Each structure stands twice: as C-alpha cells, then as structure tokens.
Amino acid sequence: MPPRPEWMASDRLLTASEVLRLAGIFVKSYGISKIRFTGGEPLVRPDATGIIESVARLGVETAVTTNGILLHHFLPLFREIGLSGLNVSLDTLNPQKFTRLTLRNAFTQVWDNILRALDRGFHVKLNMVVMRGWNEDELVDFVGLTRNLPLHVRFIEYMPFRGNGWNSGSVFTYREMLESIGREYPVEKIEDPKYSTSKSYRVPGFAGTFGVISTVSQPFCGTCNRIRLTADGTLRNCLFTRDEINLREALRKGEPVEPLIEKAVLLKHRQHGGLPGFGEQAVTTTLSARSMAAIGG
C-alpha cells in the first residue's frame, strides 16, 4: 500500500451501470466465463454489493480478491450468489509486520475473517507476495497453516510495479521457495487446474495445499487467458502492459467498444507485456505508469 495513495477523481471511475454494461459485452460477445473483482480493494466501494450481485446474475463464475478487512460484511452475499473463488491477500502472519506492510492495524480482523469464511465452507486462497528480507522466513509457517486448515496458500514471486521498491535482488524465486519449504516438510506435486497461474503442491496428510506463482523466474504467459478492466475503465491485456485502451470514453460518447476490446487483445505481447526482461535498467525505463494498487492483481 503506498503511504499516500493518489485517489482517483470520481468522474473517472466507471459507474455501477457502466461496469455492468461492459461486463455484459464481455460475457455475451466474447465468451468471458469468469469475472474476478480485485483491487486496490474492491469491497470498499459503497456500491460493491449491487455490482457483484448484478454481475453474478450474468451467469458467469464470480470471484473476489480482497485484503479481507471488510470480508465479514460480504460473506452472506457471497454465499447467496455462489461465489466461486475467494482470494485473500496476506503477506505475513506477524501482526506488527502486517501493520508495517499494509499501514493498517488490522491483522486480527483479517485473520478472523479468513477463519469465518472457512467455517462457512468457502474455498479460500491466501495470496502471499514473497519479498526477500521481508517475509521469506515465513514460508514454512504459511505451509504449516495447511496442516489443519483446508486453505490453498499461493506464494507469489515479487514483481516490479511503479513505486513498489522492487529490485532483482528482492525476488525470492520459485526454486528457492521450494528448497526452503522442502527443508521442513516433504512436498508432493499435485495436478494444476487448467489455466492455473500457480504450480500446486501439498504436504502429504495435510488438509490444505499450496502453490507458487513464478511470474518472474518461470513465466507462464503462454497459457494466460486473463484481461483486466481497471476501475477507471481502461483495458489492460497484461499486468505489465503499457498499452492501455480507454473504454470509458467510448462508452460515454455512445461509441461501440467492441473494436477497442479486440484491439487490446490483439496487442497482447507474447510475454510480460513486452517488458525486455527483468533487469534493473529494463524495468525502470519501461514499467507502466500504474502502480499495482491501481491495476488489480
């Protein structure tokens, strides 16, 4: 979380009915079968309930990625719409470190909400971004959670985004993660769901599983079937793209958005949004101007 987020002017944000119109086009014209609400933090939007409910009515799989702070208010809605995926971002199990990383004193609330969601039968995935020097020493503790809890923990390699302090030395790689976990637990590879972004594992006999998202050291862009629509109505064909296509303007002028959607898909690069590798120089000169908080995971 940036210390001083730049809030977007509200007239730049898509209204609830614009979100719904665009979602309808993606579903009916392009066969999109799953819509995930992510952030920033999607549940802080005052009209989040209505938007999520209406999108679910389009008959798509609906999923949410949240920081977990407001999750308790939304569990009844998620049950009602049959939410298919609930991801909670949690980078540490240490309450003090949590406050330093997120600038929110909310670890207990988030943890209680994760347990509440599990209690109500949701399949919860925990997303942990592994940053060398910050939290790589907690990998084993996170895997330990899966002993009794039916969680899927996902360890995500630290990726470079505008203003997040990334450097190549801060990446704790997929291989290093497996080595570190393997020193404590026997680890077994399990089958990955189709188009999964993570490589899945489990410790035999444990209730839950874990996986690694190796975007930096072992990219999987060849099977990436995602496209992102930001809160201000731009389409991004990759987390790292610099080619943003503005759908909001066209929508407000009453122009068709389909040609723009098709252009965005055709502009997709083979890998990493066309970023020429993850060297320091390449990253600082070619990163998109958007921070991760303004893209959504």
- Which residues are at the interface with ligand SF4 (CB under 6 A)? 215, 219-221, 224, 226, 238-240, 272-273
Dihedral (CA of 2, 281, 296, 229) sign = positive
Minimal distance in Å, beta carbon 251 to ligand SF4? 24
3-class SS at 34? Answer: strand
CB of 173 to ligand SF4, least distance (A): 16
Helix (H, G, I), strand (E, B) or coil at 262: helix
CB 82 within 8 A of CB 53: no
Both tokens assigned to 216:
């930096």
C-beta separation of 185 from 128 below 8 A: no
Which amino acid belongs to residue 180? S
The CB-of-297 to ligand SF4 minimum distance in angstroms stands at: 10
Q: Which of 88, 205, 222 is nearest to 154 (CA)?
A: 88
Of the candidates 136, 120, 137, 46, which has an alpha carbon nearest to the alpha carbon of residue 83?
120
User: Measured from the CB of residue 239, what is the shortest distance to ligand SF4 in angstroms?
Assistant: 4
Q: Which is nearer to ligand SF4, 9 or 266 (CB)?
A: 266
Q: Give the residue with the Cβ less far from ligand SF4, 83 or 239.
A: 239
Nearest CB to ligand SF4, comparing residues 150 and 274: 274
Please report how close the Cβ of residue 223 comes to ligand SF4 at its closest, in angstroms.
8
Q: Which of residues 187 and 224 has its CB atom nearest to ligand SF4 in the complex?
A: 224
Pick the closer one to ligand SF4 by CB: 118 or 221.
221
End-to-end CA distance of the chain: 13
3-state secondary structure at position 199:
strand
Q: Which is nearer to ligand SF4, 63 or 250 (CB)?
A: 63
Measured CA to CA, the distance from residue 172 to residue 224 in angstroms comes to 22
Q: How far is the CB of 221 from ligand SF4 (least distance, A)?
A: 3
* CB 242, min distance to ligand SF4, A: 12
Closest to ligand SF4 by CB, 215 vs 230, is 215
Strands 228-229 and 234-236: antiparallel
Tell me which H or E stretch contains 89: strand 85-89
Whole-angstrom Cα distance, residue 88 to residue 110?
9
